[in-house]
Structure 1
Amino acid sequence: MTSRTIALLGSTGSIGTQAIDVIERNRDEFDVVAIAAGGNDPAAVIAQARALDVRTVAVADVAAAERIGAALPGVEILAGADGVVAVAGIGADVVLNGMTGSVGLRPTLASLAAGSTLALANKESLVAGGALVNAAKQRPDQIVPVDSEHSALAQALLGGTHAEVKRLVVTASGGAFRGKTRADLVDVTPEQALNHPNWDMGPVVTINSASMMNKALEVIEAHLLFDIPMEQIDVVVHAQSIVHSMVEFVDGSTLAQVSPPDMRLPIALGLTWPARVPGAIDGMDWTQAQQWTFEPLDEEAFPAIRVARAAVAESPLHPAVFNAANEECVAAFVAGKLPFLGIVDTVRSVVEKYEAPAEITLEAVDAAESWARAQAAAVIAARV
């Protein structure tokens, strides 16, 4: 059988390194033709390129690209953001977008334009440019979600037709602050927010998980991916992270996808959908007693999802403002310039002030994001 060609974006990040683990254990199935990374760890990029025998490497950091190029004679080196976009559009069978942030939007669009299947872990690109991304699809199944929740929904949705779906139920671990009240969260630190109980993720995603902003982005993503109205998407807190999400159908039946909390499973599915990779992870141990809990989300302590619903209701560009403002606020929180509760409060104030233009273009998304970042920065500076 011919192996699938893969272009891997964000190769040194959490998603990228776990994808490489899946690929290296199934070398006959995959041929990684290109990787792309930010460049903050040149040694890791060099090691990955050699181990995977890639032909093309893109590095966003131009200086790092020079060092990497010197160590990889015979390998095509592309530097800067345009190089990452070029790798995304290289025409690989599958492009895994494991980048963090809305910087992943242009690579997402490039991969779709090239006809590649897009294994999407970069939820921010869909949130920021949802209308553009969906318009760019050349076939209905061109985007395969890699987030564990959306992978679960995609699998459960195979159990019925679109018309038979009553609601989607997205599960949330609760992050580092599950069970905390709003008063409990006044003085929490970045170190505390980064202490996720179940998942090993990058810092931005982990802090988003603590604020429930990650879940808010996932609700928007589910709405855009599966064409389900926001009011038919619920969130439930499930501390064990075993049930990854559920679909309730009109007859009262609910289908859930269950597995240990290991991102290699949805990554493997993203690379081979709709086929499965044997032994992608170890499955559940059903010989041991288990207890799963489900709790309603405290939207007073964690109002991010409420803000996300309001953003989607306003315009297709408001989610781009929502996401960009959040990225600015997370950076300020990590730098000690914004309290934890100030993240969502600031995002809400920015979203409420935004007035969207009538036309949705890539330039309009860029303008919305730039406005949101500047507005968020101004609100943060005014708090000091």
Structure 2
Amino acid sequence: MKNISVLGSTGSIGVQTLEICRNLENLNIIGLTCNKNTTLLKKQIKEFQPDYYWSNKKNINIQNSKLKSPINIATDPNLDILVVATEGLSSLKPIIRSLEASKVIALANKESILCGAELIIEKLEMHSGKLIPLDSEPASVKGILSQTNKKPKKIIITASGGPFRGHKFNMLKHITPDNALNHPTWKMGKKISIDSATLMNKAFEVIECSILFNFPVDKIEVILNPTSNIHALVEFNDNSFIAASYPPDMKIPINEGLNYPEFKNNEIYCEFQKEKLNGSDFEPFKSSDYPVFELGLEYGKRRGSWLVALCGADQAAVELFLNKKIQFTDIPILIESVLKSHKEETDLNINSIYRIYQNTINNTYDLARV
């Protein structure tokens, strides 16, 4: 029996995680947290009966479960796997503390690994904790690398192109939030759906793979796979390829994470012929068609405080667009304007990361004059 806690249980990834746990007798939920959706949290607690819960809405009282902070939930002695399914940086401290307690973390939160990269890698090296990515592309790369001892030469991650594939970015001025949220292949939360529409999400994934696998950014490529049935490929030094192929369903990588260290779906990894990259399932990825991707990669490669500022500016820009305060095509303009005023900081710690992130969010709102 594995004891699981889910930070962000009422969001898209959290709900799908609990759907898997509902059907697997070897997984036991001991902790659940949410931001504000206490109505759903109460239903989840009633069904799964965790020992502990947390909500940013403090005025709730639930029988048979104890209120416990996310940090204490993340470091509970009985915890086996911590699923992090929150947005933003709210879970960075629990992640750090959980790794210090040598826990296994199944991570679906890009901001934490991007902003806290140095701290997280340091904790992984100092303690026996593990970090399992749940995002389909880095999860697929990790799965591929687990299939062989061969040395990777190139990592290829795929992109569907989002809802506006084939459209010129400068023609998307009047796109509405509903248009941008309508992803052709994935069902996701609002923030990641907008990041997928702008392709900022793909820039984040390139940087995430570089961090997680200690791999040069310039050896990570992106290719379009409109059906989202191929999630990643790795080319090895002997010129062979292995691909990760499965339907666009987040439950598959989530299931992999929950079953760590036993990967249940080895059949999704297969040898791949290079010639197929020129076939009908793929299209060339022209980064110049996606200015937000290029912007994200440009600043993301700088790492450190630049990545923190990038995540903060993107968080605010997406919120502004969703609230109809700016247009879709304003997103890269606003982000770049904010980043140009960022003053690099070194020797980041948990407090400086939070400060830079929040200050950048505030600066982005100020620049948008709302």
**Length-normalised TM-score, structure 2:** 0.91
Residues 165, 247 of structure 1: 8 Å contact kept = yes
> Pick from 275, 279, 282: which aligns with 1:294?
282
Name the CA distance, whole Å, in 2 between partners of 1:166 and 1:223.
Answer: 13
Is 1:131–2:129 an aligned residue pair? no
Query: What is the deviation of 1:102?
Result: 2.0
Residues 268, 280 of structure 1: 8 Å contact kept = no
> Pick from 84, 101, 104: which aligns with 2:70?
84
Is 1:249–2:241 an aligned residue pair? no
Q: What residue in structure 1 maps to residue 320 of structure 2?
A: 332
> Pick from 342, 349, 356: which aligns with 2:330?
342
Query: What is the deviation of 1:308?
Result: 2.7
**Displaced runs of 4+ in structure 1, greater than 6 A?**
278-281
Name the CA distance, whole Å, in 2 between partners of 1:126 and 1:193.
Answer: 25
**1:112 partner letter:** L
Query: What is the deviation of 1:297?
Result: 2.3
Q: What residue in structure 1 maps to residue 23 of structure 2?
A: 25
> Pick from 63, 78, 87: which aligns with 1:73?
63
Residues 202, 293 of structure 2: 8 Å contact kept = yes
Is 1:368–2:334 an aligned residue pair? no
SS state at 2:17 partner: helix
Name the CA distance, whole Å, in 2 between partners of 1:159 and 1:250.
Answer: 15
Is 1:227–2:214 an aligned residue pair? yes
Query: What is the deviation of 1:371?
Result: 2.6
Name the CA distance, whole Å, in 2 between partners of 1:293 and 1:351.
Answer: 36
More off after superposition, 318-327 vs 166-175: 166-175
Query: What is the deviation of 1:107?
Result: 2.1
**2:322 partner letter:** V
Q: What residue in structure 2 maps to residue 45 of structure 1?
A: 41
Residues 51, 66 of structure 2: 8 Å contact kept = yes
Percent identical among aligned pairs is 28
Cα displacement string for residues 272-309 of structure 1 (whole angstroms, at most 9, x for unaligned residues): 1231357999xxxxxxxxx8521222323312332233
Distance 1:13 1:76, change over 3 A: same
More off after superposition, 367-376 vs 167-176: 367-376
**1:31 partner letter:** N
**2:73 partner letter:** V
Distance 1:60 1:324, change over 3 A: same
Is 1:157–2:145 an aligned residue pair? yes
Residue correspondence of structure 1 range 136-285 to structure 2 within 5 A:
136-137=123-124, 138=126, 142-161=130-149, 164-277=151-264
Name the CA distance, whole Å, in 2 between partners of 1:300 and 1:110.
Answer: 40
Distance 1:342 1:239, change over 3 A: same
Residue correspondence of structure 1 range 107-118 to structure 2 within 5 A:
107-118=94-105
Name the CA distance, whole Å, in 2 between partners of 1:100 and 1:216.
Answer: 17
Name the CA distance, whole Å, in 1 between partners of 2:127 and 2:101.
Answer: 12
Cα displacement string for residues 194-228 of structure 1 (whole angstroms, at most 9, x for unaligned residues): 10111111111111100001111111111111111
SS state at 2:289 partner: coil
Residues 170, 329 of structure 2: 8 Å contact kept = no
SS state at 1:276 partner: coil
Name the CA distance, whole Å, in 2 between partners of 1:280 and 1:262.
Answer: 16
SS state at 1:300 partner: helix
Residues 103, 128 of structure 2: 8 Å contact kept = no
> Pick from 7, 10, 23: which aligns with 1:12?
10
**2:363 partner letter:** Q
Aligned length: 358
**Length-normalised TM-score, structure 1:** 0.88
In structure 2, stretches of 5+ residues that fail to align are 269-278
Query: What is the deviation of 1:161?
Result: 4.4
SS state at 1:103 partner: coil
Name the CA distance, whole Å, in 2 between partners of 1:129 and 1:179.
Answer: 34
Q: What residue in structure 2 maps to residue 288 of structure 1?
A: none
Distance 1:369 1:274, change over 3 A: same
Distance 1:75 1:139, change over 3 A: same
In structure 1, stretches of 5+ residues that fail to align are 282-290
**2:339 partner letter:** V
Name the CA distance, whole Å, in 1 between partners of 2:363 and 2:177.
Answer: 23
SS state at 2:91 partner: helix
Name the CA distance, whole Å, in 1 between partners of 2:95 and 2:331.
Answer: 27
**2:292 partner letter:** A
Name the CA distance, whole Å, in 2 between partners of 1:335 and 1:39.
Answer: 18
Residues 102, 129 of structure 2: 8 Å contact kept = no
Name the CA distance, whole Å, in 2 between partners of 1:276 and 1:37.
Answer: 28
Cα displacement string for residues 240-275 of structure 1 (whole angstroms, at most 9, x for unaligned residues): 010011111122212110011111110011111231
Query: What is the deviation of 1:140?
Result: 7.0
Query: What is the deviation of 1:110?
Result: 2.2
SS state at 2:233 partner: strand
Name the CA distance, whole Å, in 2 between partners of 1:348 and 1:166.
Answer: 32
